Amino acid sequence: MEKVLSPKTLETVKMMQEGEVTESAIYASIAKNCKDPNNKKILEQISADEMRHANLWKHYTGVEVKPNKRKIRHYAFLNRLFGFTFTIRLMENGENKAQKVYDSITGEIPEAQAVEHEEKLHEESVIAMLDEERLQFVGAIVLGLNDALVELTGALAGFTMAYGDQIKLIALSGLITGLAAALSMAASAYLQASANDDKNAKKSSIYTGLTYLFTVALLIAPYLVFGFLNVPNGKWFALGIMLTTVILIIAGFNYYISVAKQYSFKKRFFSMLMISMGVAGLSFLLGLLVKTVFHISI
């Protein structure tokens, strides 16, 4: 005779069943696009385990449930955009919260403890397998991003104060400064990696240079837009948008790293923010000082 669950537990089990079916489909989708054979095999195994868990819950609910297609599309998009490391870590964070739910139903469903144990093993397996190229070069990305934010934020803030209303000149100066600095950073990254006998020296320099260029494009864009639109006092709007962009870049990047590498978000975010904004503030004052002392007006 099958055990009759309480209404609350039955509702919880139905929710867990849908979650397992959905996660099984997500892991299968990620595995399908995974090139590394070892990673692919582990992901397929986890997908099969999730489906087995779903069938266990089905034994108690007696109903078929369909996967959440919106959630599957969401994680498929994250996988394409940010890679499987970030996506899986994000999923595992959700599973950590779900483990509290397992504890709440163990009294009526003893098998829940076994499922909870397997979920913990999933996390350990996933952590052990993570070996994604983009995360191997996180140091190079940080180097390019951090230098671009600090140097170009400071340069644009200084140009904004020193160049008067010549917003196109500010944009042009920032662009030249950014391109030269990007090439310099890429070359420096290559030389440093080569000196350390790093076989991936070229890739390190490419990641550093491209990250720098991408950041330059985002920071200069407001000046170019307001310059071509000839908006009165456009440089101040551009400065405000540029500083807001800096904050968003720092927040977005550190959120990605905090999930993918399990780092502290707040510590890294505020550290990068204080450095970038501090340099921007000092450069702005320096531009004002130079303009006042030398009486230069452009």
Judgement on whether residues 189 and 278 belong to the same structural domain of the protein: yes
Structural domain count of the chain = 2
Instruction: Kindly tell me if the per-residue pLDDT of 22 is higher than 90.
Output: yes
pLDDT single digits (tens) 116-161? 777 777 767 776 766 666 666 777 777 778 788 888 888 888 888 7
Judgement on whether residues 55 and 139 belong to the same structural domain of the protein: no
- Point out the least confidently predicted range of 55-69, 118-132, 181-195, 238-252: 118-132
Which three-class secondary structure string do you get for 262-283? CCCHHHHHHHHHHHHHHHHHHH
DSSP string, 176-242: HHHHHHHHHHHHHHHHHHHHTT-TTHHHHHHHHHHHHHHHHHHHHHHHHHHHHHT-TTHHHHHHHHH
- Considering the domain boundaries, does residue 2 fall inside one? no
pLDDT single digits (tens) 101-111? 777 777 778 77
Instruction: Kindly tell me if the per-residue pLDDT of 190 is higher than 60.
Output: yes
- Considering the domain boundaries, does residue 1 fall inside one? no
Q: Are 137 and 203 in contact (CB under 8 A)?
A: yes
Judgement on whether residues 116 and 218 belong to the same structural domain of the protein: no
Instruction: Kindly tell me if the per-residue pLDDT of 25 is higher than 90.
Output: yes
- Considering the domain boundaries, does residue 260 fall inside one? yes
Judgement on whether residues 12 and 124 belong to the same structural domain of the protein: yes
pLDDT for res 71:
92
Instruction: Kindly tell me if the per-residue pLDDT of 1 is higher than 60.
Output: no
Q: How far is CA 121 from CA 26, 30, 94, 158, 246, in A?
A: 18, 18, 15, 53, 39
Task: Using a pLDDT cut of 90, give the percent of the chain over it.
Answer: 12
Judgement on whether residues 141 and 248 belong to the same structural domain of the protein: yes
197-220: buried (b, 16+ CB within 10 Å) or exposed (e) per residue? eeeebebbbbbbbebbbebbebbb
Q: Are 170 and 159 in contact (CB under 8 A)?
A: yes
d(CA 131, CA 128): 8
Among 100, 131, 162, identify where a domain stops. Answer: 131
Among 82, 100, 131, identify where a domain stops. Answer: 131
Q: Quick one: angle between helices 7-32 and 69-82, nearest 10?
A: 40
What domain range is 72 assigned to?
7-131
Judgement on whether residues 179 and 210 belong to the same structural domain of the protein: yes
- Considering the domain boundaries, does residue 122 fall inside one? yes
Residue whose C-alpha is closest to residue 109's, from 219, 14, 220, 20: 14
Instruction: Compute the mean pLDDT over every residue in the chain, rounded to the nearest whole number.
Output: 82
- The residue assigned the tokens 């483990």 is 99
Judgement on whether residues 165 and 49 belong to the same structural domain of the protein: no
Judgement on whether residues 126 and 142 belong to the same structural domain of the protein: no
Burial of 68 (0-12, 13-18, 19+ CB in 10 A): middle
pLDDT for res 26:
93
In this prediction the pTM is 0.70
- Considering the domain boundaries, does residue 213 fall inside one? yes
pLDDT for res 295:
60
Judgement on whether residues 124 and 172 belong to the same structural domain of the protein: no
Judgement on whether residues 118 and 185 belong to the same structural domain of the protein: no
Task: Please compute the mean of the pLDDT values over residues 258-287 and round it to a whole number.
Answer: 79
Residue whose C-alpha is closest to residue 25's, from 63, 92, 70, 62: 70
d(CA 208, CA 225): 26
Judgement on whether residues 61 and 44 belong to the same structural domain of the protein: yes
d(CA 86, CA 35): 16
Among 96, 131, 166, identify where a domain stops. Answer: 131
CATH of the domain at 12: 1.20.1260
Decide which of 97 and 247 is more confident: 247
Instruction: Kindly tell me if the per-residue pLDDT of 255 is higher than 50.
Output: yes
pLDDT single digits (tens) 211-227? 889 989 999 999 999 98
Judgement on whether residues 156 and 228 belong to the same structural domain of the protein: yes
